[in-house]
Structure 1
């Protein structure tokens, strides 16, 4: 257990805090701040892990899981209160769950995974911007989210191609 892993685990605890603030206190803007805090801990834990060579197998598994669960929590919350359409939320849900189960499959099968690439990190930033736009009801918020969802499927395909290539290299 090291500082990056503690920060990653803290993101799991931010999920119920987000839900409490969003649904029970009905402070969407404060909930968005909790969501941003989760994003900042993701940036900080990754930076510390790489800079100080504190990358662990546990961190490699839990970090993307924490990110995906927080993103799903925000998307499903926005869906429940009617701020985003079912179709868009369904696509995000499908993608995130697909990525989670793919990671589990690769891990169980002993397959190599690859770190998030610039496209994947860009997708995360774009999702944060989309959720900000929806929270503050900015113009074209749903259109932007729809663009981000389409972009996320493209980046997922690129990621899966990279994983496949990395595992073919192991076979040689």
Structure 2
């Protein structure tokens, strides 16, 4: 889940596994986070929810591997929860003015590029490419950067050192995110070329 399972671990069709329950709980944290951030503006409480959501991103994958409970639902649910947290945080932070529009745009553009690549693969009968550790690392770093950036705004006395730490993590995550996108696009190109070559051989045969 947070990483690709080892080849020896087969994904099951089970739904109610411990890692999946953790992922479901993570999803419930999204509306709570947005309420705390945009409603009463309880920033410290919102930071706690966001930090717990980011931490459990690693926990569910660790539990899945240790308990040999990798599931097909989990392989879909975990990246969906990641993207939902990132999207919700970007929307909330942009509305509150915590992050500039260019960061939101850069991250959303990356998601749009990958969505188009996935649609192209699906048209050729391929599923999504395997999750790359560069992308998962970028997600983890980004989910670490967001609470630090928000905490820097909420706690004035710590803003002088939290702000550079948070934005350093954000820049690092942005670089990893786009590096992962480049790798996914390279995988997509290779698959499409192989598909084209296979069709050409079939036509000749």
**Which TM class, normalised by the smaller chain length?**
0.7 to 0.9
The answer to whether residue 72 in structure 2 is matched with residue 57 in structure 1 is yes
Q: How does 1:1-172 map to 2 (within 5 A)?
A: 1=15, 2-99=17-114, 102-103=117-118, 106=121, 110-137=125-152, 138-140=162-164, 141-142=166-167, 145-162=170-187, 165=190
Q: TM-score, normalised by structure 2?
A: 0.69
RMSD between aligned residues: 2.8
Q: Post-superposition shift, 1:26?
A: 0.8
Decide which structure has the larger Cα Rg and report it: 2
Any gaps of 5 or more consecutive residues in structure 1?
A: none
Cα distance in 1, alignment partners of residues 168 and 176 from structure 2: 12
Cα distance in 1, alignment partners of residues 116 and 25 from structure 2: 22
- Which shifted more, 150-159 or 71-80? 150-159
Aligned to 2:86, the other structure's residue is in SS state helix
CA distance 1:129–1:4, change in 2 (3 Å): closer
Q: Deviations over 1:122-167 (max 9, x none)?
A: 2123213321331133333446534532331112212333455578
Higher relative contact order (CA 8 A, sep 6+): 2
CA distance 1:20–1:4, change in 2 (3 Å): same
Q: How many residues align?
A: 172
Cα distance in 2, alignment partners of residues 163 and 52 from structure 1: 32
Q: Deviations over 1:11-60 (max 9, x none)?
A: 22111011111111211121121111112222121112222222222111
Any gaps of 5 or more consecutive residues in structure 2?
A: 1-14, 153-161, 199-205
